[in-house]
Structure 1
């Protein structure tokens, strides 16, 4: 059966692995390659790696780091950061990466989504939409350049445009929830799930497996991504790479979707 994906999201800053809170105050938590090795051992469903410096600084993707990550990774790998051309995307795919993530470049140059889709295939094109709720409002705006610039775009309308242009997946990333570990913005996730037909992944806010279960229960087969949940442990947030076991994932999916374990394990 099609099943939800539980996806660690790793942020790279100055070549180190960091975790942010509301896109600010990056805290060093370790080495990206070592983290990938641990997630390999824990049989992670998938992995997202985002270089949060590249697009802001206008520099090329770090192809050496990407190559090292891809060589080590034994799960589907999505990489984002600094990708501004279809040629760059094609080169990254050639290094062994399964998916290309673009954010600011997709908003500033929407045709890039079509160009990359034509070059590497729709299934490998992921558009990351960073969102923030307006003050004293129920509306959201899309931000780019690592949360520094408000585009005043509506995230749901932008997601629909990206789907039409050739995106194969949307990652909805909440700036407000980032690093807070207080739960996903489930209401916004539901709106996105209803608006597009392509796969979606929700990022920002997960503080427990129960938060993932709540998201899956509300939205069905989606990607549930998290950063802090998988790099911190305990109330004092000691750095410890962790990830649910296969049995824990199966039980979570069964509860969330109202299925029995036998159904979840059907191939």
Structure 2
């Protein structure tokens, strides 16, 4: 039986683990390899690692880092950052990564979704949509390049397109909720969830396990991802890698699935 996934999301900048607020104010929180080792011990469902500057700086993926992460991980790993070609996707999968996520590359060239899926399989192709409301229109729009470039795409319409083109999963990230820890953007999640049958992971806003519980209660079998929730502890945001243990997870999901 399929179960909801509870997923830590790690942001990497210059080889270090950071946490942002609304895609800015990055705070260094440690070494990503050490974080992965701790999450291994906590038996997490899956992990997402995003190199947040690779695309904005026009860099290729850091294959050495990716190899080290994949070697260390004992859980499914999704990597994103700087991926622009099918050849890069294939190389990353060859390093032991289960899924590769793309954002700016597929908004600029949606057919890349199909080409990548034909080579590595749809289950390994993840489309990331970083979304925020326009300042004046208040409409949801997709942004790329670390939230600095407007793609002028509606997330609902693009989710439908990604599914038709062969994507295996969507990661929906609410920029305005990033690092705020006040709950997911349930309106955005509902709109996109209704538009596609693809597996979907939601990121941006989780501040408590209740936020995850409410997301799963509302939307069923879904990936609930978080960054700050799993690297900070307490009101002063002391750095502490954490994750619900098996008993806590069972209690969280009780009567929800």
Q: Distance in 1 between matches of 2:136 and 2:180?
A: 20
Partner of 2:135: 135
1:54-133 aligned at under 5 Å gives the runs: 54-133=54-133
Q: Distance in 2 between matches of 1:83 and 1:192?
A: 24
Q: Distance in 1 between matches of 2:21 and 2:134?
A: 18
Q: Distance in 2 between matches of 1:189 and 1:54?
A: 27
Partner of 1:236: 236
TM-score by length of 1: 0.94
Aligned residue for 2:131, secondary structure, equals strand
Partner of 2:6: 6
Query: Aligned-pair distance for 1:135?
Result: 3.1
Q: Distance in 1 between matches of 2:179 and 2:67?
A: 28
Aligned residue for 1:105, secondary structure, equals helix
Query: Aligned-pair distance for 1:134?
Result: 2.3
TM-score by length of 2: 0.98
Aligned residue for 2:194, secondary structure, equals helix
Partner of 1:265: none
Partner of 2:187: 187
Q: Distance in 1 between matches of 2:45 and 2:143?
A: 28
- Deviation sequence 1:142-181 (CA, Å, 0-9, x none): 1011100112211010111111111100000000000000
Query: Aligned-pair distance for 1:138?
Result: 4.9
Aligned residue for 1:55, secondary structure, equals coil
Unaligned runs of 5+ in 2: none
How many residues matched?
Answer: 257
Matched, 1:50 2:56: no
Partner of 1:168: 168
Aligned residue for 1:54, secondary structure, equals coil
Query: Aligned-pair distance for 1:136?
Result: 5.7
Query: Aligned-pair distance for 1:193?
Result: 1.4
Q: Distance in 1 between matches of 2:243 and 2:159?
A: 29
Q: Distance in 1 between matches of 2:106 and 2:59?
A: 16
1:140-151 aligned at under 5 Å gives the runs: 140-151=140-151
Q: Distance in 1 between matches of 2:124 and 2:56?
A: 23
Partner of 1:263: none
Q: Distance in 1 between matches of 2:91 and 2:68?
A: 14
Aligned residue for 2:90, secondary structure, equals helix
Q: Distance in 1 between matches of 2:140 and 2:63?
A: 34
- Deviation sequence 1:16-55 (CA, Å, 0-9, x none): 0000000001110000000000000000000000001111
Q: Distance in 2 between matches of 1:85 and 1:33?
A: 26
Partner of 1:264: none
Partner of 2:210: 210
